[in-house]
Amino acid sequence: MKPYNLEERTFEFARQCRLLVSKLPKTISNIEDGKQLIRSSGSVGANYIEANEKLGDKDFSFRLKIARKEAKESAY
């Protein structure tokens, strides 16, 4: 069953990124790129969760923009 809840999906995205990184050959560039992918993919979900704990509409929008930026960084 495919999760549709965004919090579940962002968690699954970060989990899949970690799995991918663990399967890469252990070269210097893969290790450094893998660290960055793990940070940015985990940040997507963390910022989405923070957006749901919003202090106001501007804060909600700001947190979602950060989550989107981190998702784009992960894709790059």
- What domain count does the chain have? 1
Q: What is the pLDDT of residue 19?
A: 97
Query: What is the full DSSP assignment across 9-48?
Result: HHHHHHHHHHHHHHHS---HHHHHHHHHHHHHHHHHHHHH
Query: pTM for this structure?
Result: 0.79
Residue 62, domain member (yes or no) = yes
Is residue 1 domain-resident?
no
Dist CA 54 CA 32 (whole Å)? 33
For residue 21, give both structure tokens: 């990184």
Q: What is the pLDDT along the chain (76 residues), one digit of tens a residue?
A: 455 688 999 999 999 999 999 999 999 999 999 999 999 999 999 989 888 887 888 888 898 899 989 998 888 7
| Residue range(s) defining the domain that contains residue 71 | 6-75
